[in-house]
Amino acid sequence: MKALKLLKVAVISLLLFFITTASATTFMLKGDNYIIDERVQLKITEIGNELKTKTNVSVYVYIKNSYGLQKEMPMKEKFQLIKKKELALQEGLQKPYVLLTMSMEDIHVNLLTSQKLQSIIDKDDVLNGYVIPLLASKDKNELYAKASAAVLNGYGHIAHVIAKHNKIKLESNIPNQGKVTGTIWKVFMYTLVVGGILLYTYAVMRRRK
């Protein structure tokens, strides 16, 4: 009897897992998502789903390696093309929403919100305090690691602000300790990069031997 009960619990748990997975929404819009670490993407999906369930607000991320802009193109024309691209992205989003966009080669980061959230989300605070500082480096070898840290740090803060406004608690969100959180995730992501480089170097040396 005990074994049968354990089997029933296991089956129910498995079914709940598949139902939850099937109903989960990805908040990473189709772009060059390989730029962002898979674990970060999973965390964003987890936070996004809980936030959507509890507040009906969707927070999306759209990241590209490049928008395909020509280097010799006038700055005004570049901004017009980027704005056109972002408007097209917004058309397919369910309101209320927040959209964090990033283009690595174009050095472009933006935060867009539906009208209902414009008075709640401080764009300058999110970008200047939680996203851009983690991207502000000339070392390209670490750029994609920093992109993962910056996106997660910004996403977590946006979710925290929305949850606080709605007077709810998010169990899945990263601990909000102000801008210090960004440093923690930066160190974490740098560790992954350095570890990867060391493993690669070790593998090359073994082959040569």
What backbone torsions phi and psi does residue 169 show, to the nearest 5 degrees?
A: -115, 135
Do the Cβ atoms of 117 and 57 come closer than 8 Å? yes
CA distances from 89 to 2, 13, 86 (A): 53, 37, 5
pLDDT at 39 over 70: yes
- Predicted local confidence at residue 13, as pLDDT: 39
pLDDT band at 144 (very low <50, low <70, confident <90, very high): confident
Domain limits, the chain: 23-208
pLDDT at 159 over 70: yes
Of residues 155 and 139, more confidence is placed in 155
The CATH number of 23-208 is 3.10.310.50
Mean pLDDT of 136-153: 79
The residue type at 24: A
- Predicted local confidence at residue 141, as pLDDT: 53
**Of 121, 126, 153, 156, residue with least CA distance to 50:** 156
Mean pLDDT of 137-158: 83
- Predicted local confidence at residue 23, as pLDDT: 39
pLDDT at 200 over 60: no
Do the Cβ atoms of 44 and 185 come closer than 8 Å? no
Residue-wise pLDDT for 2-38, tens only, equals 555 544 444 433 333 333 343 346 899 998 999 999 9
- Predicted local confidence at residue 20, as pLDDT: 38
- Supply the mean pLDDT for the chain: 79
Residue-wise pLDDT for 61-89, tens only, equals 999 999 888 888 888 898 899 999 999 99
**Of 102, 129, 113, 130, residue with least CA distance to 36:** 102
**Which pTM was predicted?**
0.73
CA distances from 57 to 23, 127, 147, 156 (A): 16, 19, 23, 14
Residue-wise pLDDT for 94-122, tens only, equals 899 999 999 998 889 999 999 999 999 99
